[in-house]
C-alpha cells in the first residue's frame, strides 16, 4: 500500500471536470485507488463517489493505492494534480 497527501489549490475544488480526469487516469491501473477526505474514503474510479465528497479549495486529501502497479498509479495522479492545477503534494 502506498499513499500521498495533497492540498487542493484549485479555486473550484474538485468539481465535475477534474473529477472526470482523475477517474479516467486511474481506470487503466490494476491497483485499487481510493481518495480520503474528512474520514470518508471512496473508490477513485467512481465519479459519483468522488463528487459526493464535495472537496473544496484548501482541503487536504489522501490518495491511497493498493496493488502491483500502485507506484505508477500514484505517479499518474501526481501528474494530473499538477497539470490540472488541482493540488500540491504535502
Rounded Cα gap, residues 42 and 21, in angstroms: 16
15 in catalytic set: yes
Catalytically annotated residue among 4, 7, 15, 62: 15
Residue whose C-alpha is closest to residue 74's, from 6, 3, 1, 21: 3
Cell of 83: 497539470
Q: Which residues are catalytic, by number?
A: 15
Amino acid at each position: 500500500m502506498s499513499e500521498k497527501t495533497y492540498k487542493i489549490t484549485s479555486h473550484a475544488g474538485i468539481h465535475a471536470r477534474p473529477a472526470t480526469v482523475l477517474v479516467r487516469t486511474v481506470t487503466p491501473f490494476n491497483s485499487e485507488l481510493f481518495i480520503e477526505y474528512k474520514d470518508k474514503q471512496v473508490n477513485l474510479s467512481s465519479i459519483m463517489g468522488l463528487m459526493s465528497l464535495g472537496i473544496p479549495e484548501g482541503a487536504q486529501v489522501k490518495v491511497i493505492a493498493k496493488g502491483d502497479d500502485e507506484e505508477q498509479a500514484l505517479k499518474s495522479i501526481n501528474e494530473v494534480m499538477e497539470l490540472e492545477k488541482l493540488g500540491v503534494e504535502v
